[in-house]
Every structure is written in C-alpha cells, then in structure tokens.
Structure 1
Amino acid sequence: MSKVVLITGGSSGIGKSVGEYLTDNGFKVYGTSRNPEKYGKSKFPILELDVKNTQTIQQTVSYIISVEGRLDVLINNAGAGITGPIEEIPEAEIKANFDTNFFGPINVIKECLPQMRNQHSGLIINITSIAGYMGLPYRGIYSASKGALELLTEAFRMELKDFNIHMTNIAPGDFATNIAAGRYHAPLLENSPYKKPYGDTLNLMNEHVDSGSDPLMMAKAVLKVIQTDKPKIHYKVGEFMQKFSVILKSILPDKVYEKLLMNHYKL
C-alpha cells in the first residue's frame, strides 16, 4: 500500500520538488496552497489550505482521510521569509510570520495527530532552516520562528513516543527557490540608521538564494528520512559550510562566532 503524504506549501519550491520526487517513488501525495488555482497541472493534487486558517486545515485533512482512509506522513513545509531591522519591522508583520512559520505548523500537526494515533503510526517532518540555529542579522524574526519550531519538535517527540508517531526536523540551507520573492522586506528607509548595513545584507541574502542548491537535494533527503525506521531529531541539508556553521556555533565561544557572522555579512 502506498503511503499517503500531505505536504503544506506543495505548489512551488522545495515543497513541489519533494512532492514530485515522492510521487515518482510510489507515494500518494497531496500538496497544498492558499491559491491552488494559480498553478497549472501538477504530478499530484494541490488542495486549498492556508496554515493561518484552521478551517481550511480541518477541511483538507478531513478530505484526505475520507478519500484515502489514512495519513502516513505530514511534511510541514509552508513557510514565509521576513527581513529587516527588528526595530523597524511592524509588529503585525512579526506576528504574521510566526502565524505562518510556527503556529501554522502546530495547528496542522494537531489536526493530523488523531488519525495517526488511531493508526498507531505516522511521521511528521517539520521543514525548518539552518537560519533557525543562529540569530542572523536582519533575519532575526525568521531565525526566531524557525528556531522555535526546532525546539517544539524536540518536546513533541517525547510526548508522542507512546503512539508510534515520529517527528523530526529537516533544516535546509540556501536553495534556488522563489522564497526571496515571497518574503516580507521591511522597506529601506532613507532616514534609517540601518539603511546601508541592511541594504548590503539584503543584497547578499538574495545572491545566496539565487545561487542556492537544487531543491532535489531536499527531496532526496526527505525520502531517506521517510524510509528510516527511527528518524533522528535534527537533519541539516545544504552546502558543507552552511551545515558546518551549526557545528562551529556549538564549539566556538559566543563572541568569536558572532564575529564570524559579522565578517560574513560585512557588518
């Protein structure tokens, strides 16, 4: 029997690559989008779901279970980028980012858990970010929301151990996707004390995304995790130096690591 997979944010970028790869490998995949009508023909169904709207979450999960009779894998992939000096980002935008990157995944997990518990089996993969392991300048809100999801997974795993439901994080580095176009950018204000460093950092971030890795790398990593009996708590996928940066943070003195980051961003 093919495993049934739900991928939030499955219409483009990493989610689309993962969905296509899993479909090619025999899985029954359902992707989601806030506006599925915007996208053309896909290898797998794209259903309407907004992670900030619990009603759409309930409707979509219920539909999949009614059609398939089960739900084996949830991939919490939907996410949003956000950049800017923390002082200048409107509070509403900060809350909106956490609604998408943190509270949204929680609500999707809550909706899927009863079915997985009834099956006494299930796997939940939270797509976080290597940025969630460190507070990055002018990406502090994004780092915080993804870091919060990393920690949530650690706690959730222990609470779910009696139900044979596994949960893990996969933290990607920079991949060639359209995330830069969709992220919220705090405007570069002419009279801002952050104008030059924020502008320079913004250009550098966009260059990293444009020259990022092929999302197929993430798709292969997801398949490998699904095929693992006892997944690890944390996985990191990306270029060597991006993954190595997490190791450096764990071994270097805080101020030394901070200096490395500042040198990287030319601050």
Structure 2
Amino acid sequence: MSKVVLITGGSSGIGKSIGEFLSSKGYDVFGTSRNPDRYPNSKFKLVALDVADIISIKKAIQAVVETSGRLDVLINNAGSGITGPIEEIPDEEIKRNFETNFFGPINVIKSVLPQMREQNSGLIINITSIAGYMGLPYRGIYSASKGALELVTEAFRMEISGFNIKMTNVAPGDFATNIAAGRYHAPVLDNSPYKETYQNTLSMMDAHVDSGNDPKQMARAIYKIIETKNPKIHYKVGAFMQKFSIVLKRILPDKIYEKLLRNHYKL
C-alpha cells in the first residue's frame, strides 16, 4: 500500500519538487495551498490549507484521511521569508512570520498526531533552514523562526517517541525557488542608518537564491529520509560551504565566527 504524504506549501518551490518526485516514486501525495484552484495542472492532489488558520488545518487533514484512510508522512514545508533591519521591521510582520514559520507547523503537527497515534506509526519532517543555525544580519527574524522550529523538534520527537512516530528536521541552504519574490522586505529607507549595508546584503541574498541548487536535490533527500527506518534528528541539504558554516560555528570562538560573517556581508 502506498504511503500517504501531506506536504504543506506544495504548490511551488521546494514543496512542489518534493511532491512531484514522491509521486513519481508511487507515493499518494497531497500538497497544500491557500488557493489550490490556481494550480489546475498540479501533478499531485492539492487541498486548501492556511497554516495560520487552525480550522483550515483541521479540515485539510480530515479531507486527506477521509480520502486515503490514513496519513503516513507530514512534511512541514510551508514557510515565508523576511528581511530587514530588526529595528525597522514592523512588529506585525515579525509576528506574521512566526505564525507561518513556527506556530503554523506546530499546529499542523498537533492536528496530525491523533491520526498517527491511532495508526501507531508516522513520520513528521520539518523543513527549517541552515539560516536557523546562526543569527544572520538582516535575516535575524527568519533565522529566529527557523531556529525555534529546529529546537522544538528536538523536544517534540522525544515526547512522541513512545507512539512509534518519528520526527526530524531538514535544513536547506539556498535553492533556486521563488522565495525571494514572496518574502517580506522591509523597505530600504533613504534616511535609514542601515541603508547602504542593508541594500548590499539584500542584493547578495537575492543573488544566492537565483544561483541556488536545483530543488530536486531536496526532493531526493526527503525521499531517502522517508525510506530510512530511523531518521536522524537533523539533516542539512545544500552547498558544501553553507553546511560547513554550521561546523565552523560549533568549533570557532563566537567573536571569530561573527567576524567571518561580518566580512562576508561587508559589515
């Protein structure tokens, strides 16, 4: 029997690539979108879900279970980017980012756990970010929301281990997707003390995404994890130097690592 997979944020980018790849491997894939009708040519089923709306979450999961009779794998992929000097990002945008990147995934997890407990099996994969391992300039809020999900996963997986439900994090680096177009950008203000350094960093970030790896690399990594009997706690997927930056943070003194980042971003 094919495993039933639910991917939040499955209409574009990494989520779409994962869904198409898993479908080609015989999985019964459901993706989510706030407006699934906009994607009539999707190669797998799309259901309506807004991670900031708990009623929407519960309806989507109920629809998947009623259609397929079970839910074997949840991939918490829906997320949003945010950039800007922390001093200048409006509070409502900070809260909105955490709603999408942190509280949303937690609420989806809470909503699938009863079904997975009933099955006595399940796998939950949280898509975080290599940026979640370090506080990056002008991406501090994004780093914080993804880092929070990394840490809560460590606790969550121990709490659910007695139910034969597995949980893991997958932290991607830069991939060639449309995340830059969809992220919230604090405007570059003419009278801002951060104007020059923020503009330079913003241009650098967009260039990294544009030249990023093919999201199919993430799809293949997710497939391998699903096929693994006992997944690890953390996975990193991306360019060597992006993954190596996490190693450097572990072994270098804090101020030396900070100096490397400041030099990289020309701060």
Backbone CA RMSD of aligned residues? 0.5
Superposition pairs for residues 192-211 of structure 1, below 5 Å? 192-211=192-211
Equivalents in 2 of 1:217, 1:208: separation in Å? 16
Query: 1:182: how far off?
Result: 0.1
Instruction: Say whether residues 1:54 and 2:54 are aligned partners.
Output: yes
Instruction: Say whether residues 1:85 and 2:94 are aligned partners.
Output: no
TM-score by length of 1: 0.99
1:99-146 deviations in Å (ceiling 9; x for gaps): 000000000001100000000000000000000000000000000000
Give, as a single letter, the amino acid of the residue that structure 2 aligns with 1:112: V
* Alignment-derived partner of residue 120 in structure 1: 120
Query: 1:42: how far off?
Result: 1.2
1:4-42 deviations in Å (ceiling 9; x for gaps): 000000000000000000000010000001111222311
Equivalents in 2 of 1:142, 1:67: separation in Å? 35
Provide the secondary structure at the position in 2 that maps to 1:177: coil
* Alignment-derived partner of residue 162 in structure 1: 162
Query: 1:148: how far off?
Result: 0.1
Equivalents in 2 of 1:218, 1:124: separation in Å? 16
Superposition pairs for residues 25-104 of structure 1, below 5 Å? 25-104=25-104
* Alignment-derived partner of residue 236 in structure 1: 236
Structure 1 alignment gaps of length 5 or more = none
Equivalents in 2 of 1:62, 1:48: separation in Å? 11
Query: 1:75: how far off?
Result: 0.1
Query: 1:67: how far off?
Result: 1.0
Query: 1:62: how far off?
Result: 0.3
Query: 1:254: how far off?
Result: 0.3
Superposition pairs for residues 177-256 of structure 1, below 5 Å? 177-256=177-256
Provide the secondary structure at the position in 2 that maps to 1:147: helix
Instruction: Say whether residues 1:174 and 2:174 are aligned partners.
Output: yes
Query: 1:264: how far off?
Result: 0.8
Give, as a single letter, the amino acid of the residue that structure 1 aligns with 2:161: K
Provide the secondary structure at the position in 2 that maps to 1:208: helix
TM-score by length of 2: 0.99
Query: 1:150: how far off?
Result: 0.1
Query: 1:152: how far off?
Result: 0.5
Percent identity, please.
73
- Superposition misfits of 4+ residues, deviation over 2 angstroms: none
Query: 1:43: how far off?
Result: 1.1
Give, as a single letter, the amino acid of the residue that structure 2 aligns with 1:75: I
Matched length: 267
Provide the secondary structure at the position in 1 that maps to 2:94: helix
Query: 1:205: how far off?
Result: 0.2
Structure 2 alignment gaps of length 5 or more = none
Query: 1:262: how far off?
Result: 0.7
Give, as a single letter, the amino acid of the residue that structure 2 aligns with 1:257: Y
Give, as a single letter, the amino acid of the residue that structure 1 aligns with 2:29: V
